[in-house]
Amino acid sequence: MIVSKWMSKRVVTIDESDTLSEAINTLKRNRIRRLPVIKDDKLVGIVSDRDLKEAAPSKVTSLDMWELHYLLSKIKIKDIMKRNIITINPGASIEKAAMLMFDNKIGGLPVIENNKLVGIITEHDVFNALINITGARIPSVRITVTIPDKPGSIKDVCDKIREFEFKCISILTTHVGVDEGWREVIIRFRTEKEMIEKIKIILEKDYPNVVISKE
């Protein structure tokens, strides 16, 4: 799964010469949380709703309404935007986008191709991808099994339950919280209700920690 499939292609931007007041209104009007900042059609920064909130109070405390509006109209985006922009390519994986956002504690990434802004991907888009990739919205049975961490081990599990009218929705695997030499595999599948217990019994003959739940 790549970024271009999940990103928003309609990107609302703002010019670096625009004001803090204009940025606030743009965010509210479009119901978004961040704005790529443009200068001469090139990405030069990014500003978020948090940046705007942090910029305003420090400069407008104790002012009346007219003074507040005047000052907000004088503060330029170029003075408060973040210039160290982390971007991503549309051909990058959705996992890489998630890692960049997580590791850098940010909620969105401008998507750049051939030095042009072609989209933006946010944490909301990543959540949407996760839901769809895992098949979480599809009524199914979820089985979690601890298996040996060796080539072919996932195939072995699937082969054991294939005879039970098994239709796979998704397969995920992780080493987190599992002893060395083992891995945890999570399989979402569809089958007849009466087959679920039979599948559990078959797997428990060869694997520890077999957990089945219907979702």
| Together in a domain, 110 and 16 | yes
| Together in a domain, 155 and 90 | no
Where in the sequence is the domain holding 164, given as residue range(s)? 135-214
pLDDT score for 214: 79
| Together in a domain, 108 and 142 | no
pLDDT score for 55: 74
- List the one residue out of 54, 51, 57 whose CA is nearest residue 71: 57
CATH number for position 122:
3.10.580.10
| Together in a domain, 139 and 205 | yes
pTM of the model: 0.80
Which amino acid type is present at position 88?
I
| Together in a domain, 150 and 51 | no
| Together in a domain, 48 and 82 | yes
- Show which of 91, 107, 131 is a domain's final residue: 131
| Together in a domain, 147 and 92 | no
| Together in a domain, 37 and 88 | yes
Question: Residue 21: phi, psi to the nearest 5?
Answer: -60, -45
| Together in a domain, 144 and 118 | no
- List the one residue out of 78, 137, 127, 136 whose CA is nearest residue 107: 127
Antiparallel, parallel or unpaired: β 167-174 and 141-148: unpaired
CATH number for position 170:
3.30.70.260
Tally of residues, the chain: 215
| Together in a domain, 66 and 165 | no
List residues bridging with 190 in a β-sheet: 167
| Together in a domain, 154 and 100 | no
Number of compact structural domains in the chain: 2
Query: Cα separation of 215 and 207, whole Å?
Result: 22
- Show which of 131, 165, 194 is a domain's final residue: 131
| Together in a domain, 127 and 177 | no
Per-residue pLDDT of the chain (215 residues; tens, 9 = 90+): 899 999 999 999 999 999 888 898 999 999 999 999 999 889 999 999 888 887 765 544 554 555 555 666 678 899 889 999 999 999 999 999 999 999 999 999 999 999 899 999 999 999 999 999 999 899 889 999 999 999 999 999 988 888 887 788 999 999 999 999 999 999 998 888 888 888 898 999 998 889 988 77
